[in-house]
Amino acid sequence: MTTENRIGADKVMDIRAIPCSIKHGLILRTWLELPVGDHFILHNDHDPMRMQNQFAAQWPGTFTWEHLVQGPDEFRVKITKLKQLGESAVPVTTSCEGH
């Protein structure tokens, strides 16, 4: 599956129906594949705050994270890639437990 298949024409990646066991890895891979300057809008049923913390810890200064809709049942976050990452930018996935 390529990035183009995960993100709709409207740049939205709806992850609400994706099983938690693969959701975080899918988000990370999608972001890693983005060209610099590009973005996608993450659509979820809970605030992806843990993902934002993970991005900040692993790739500080390489992204923007803009909440477009904040709950209570729908969250949309625009994630933009600001800089190219090094070859060793392998994601460490986290689980969805506790959202």
The answer to whether residue 99 sits within a structural domain is no
- Whether residue 40 is predicted with pLDDT greater than 90 in this model: the reply is yes
Average pLDDT over residues 9-30: 90
The answer to whether residue 53 sits within a structural domain is yes
The answer to whether residue 88 sits within a structural domain is no
| pLDDT classification of 3: cutoffs 50, 70, 90 | very low
Expressed as residue numbers, the domain containing 15 is 3-81
Question: Where residue 50 sits, what CATH number does that domain have?
Answer: 3.30.110.40
The answer to whether residue 41 sits within a structural domain is yes
The answer to whether residue 27 sits within a structural domain is yes
The total number of structural domains in the chain stands at 1
Nearest Cα to 80, choosing from 11, 25, 26, 22?
11
- Whether residue 27 is predicted with pLDDT greater than 60 in this model: the reply is yes
pLDDT at 41: 97
Q: Are 49 and 56 in contact (CB under 8 A)?
A: no
The answer to whether residue 87 sits within a structural domain is no
The answer to whether residue 89 sits within a structural domain is no
The answer to whether residue 86 sits within a structural domain is no
pLDDT at 81: 97
The alpha carbons of the chain give a radius of gyration, in whole angstroms, of 12
In tens, the pLDDT along 43-92 reads 999 999 999 999 999 999 999 999 999 999 999 999 999 998 875 555 55
